[in-house]
Chain A
Amino acid sequence: MVEKRPVTVTVNGQVRQAEVEPRRTLADFLREDLNLPGTHLGCEHGVCGNCTVLLDGQSVRACLMFAVQADGHEILTVEGLVAPNGDLHPLQEAFWEHHALQCGFCTPAMLLTAYEYLQQHPVPGSDEEIREAIGGVLCRCTGYQNIVTAIRAAATKLTAAGPAPASRSVAD
């Protein structure tokens, strides 16, 4: 067995430390070592995007990264979208309201991808642009239409709510 290496990451605002094998993927590290099973594995070869998490605010495929590569970085997973008091994030509310999930397996990745998109585009562009933004995450259930609707609805709510969504930092 290969020697383990220490990894320190900030996940959903909490500093987490662990010793991992260099070959351990970020996805397995999050799911199994940190007990955060919301990051899902659909292919483990970098295509389906279902394992998407945000690394320093940028979407990455957690199946294509090693945990050791995340050392010193900040990670947001779906578990971190929920407010500390347990309230759902406006994006999660909108997904619920507009039936943007069926089996829910792609949902964490869709939510984080949408979150990143709205950070960059608080006022979303055309439906085509939203579709392009989520084009890296496969969903087999919904046909995507309600996801597009939900993202637009969440954006409206977030911009109406005053401070831009960017104020909701990874750590809040």
Chain B
Amino acid sequence: MAKVQGEVIIDLEKCKGCELCIIACPEETLAIANIINKKGYRYAIKAQDNCTGCANCALVCPDAVITVYRKVEKAPKQAV
């Protein structure tokens, strides 16, 4: 099995807290913070470290503030 690791970086000062990314994420990685950014919005944060890098969140983010990375490590071939 290939191991998939994802990572999102959210530009928190530019996030408008619309929560669309939170609903879009199949892994429930994201949540809304209890504190606000300079704009006055409660911003989206990573609540769990289980991102797969599917980029659903970035795709729906209207303000294009999410950057997504995805690293796929192929499992080493077993000698037969």
Do A and B pair up? The answer is no
Chain B positions within 8 Å of A, measured between CB atoms, are: none
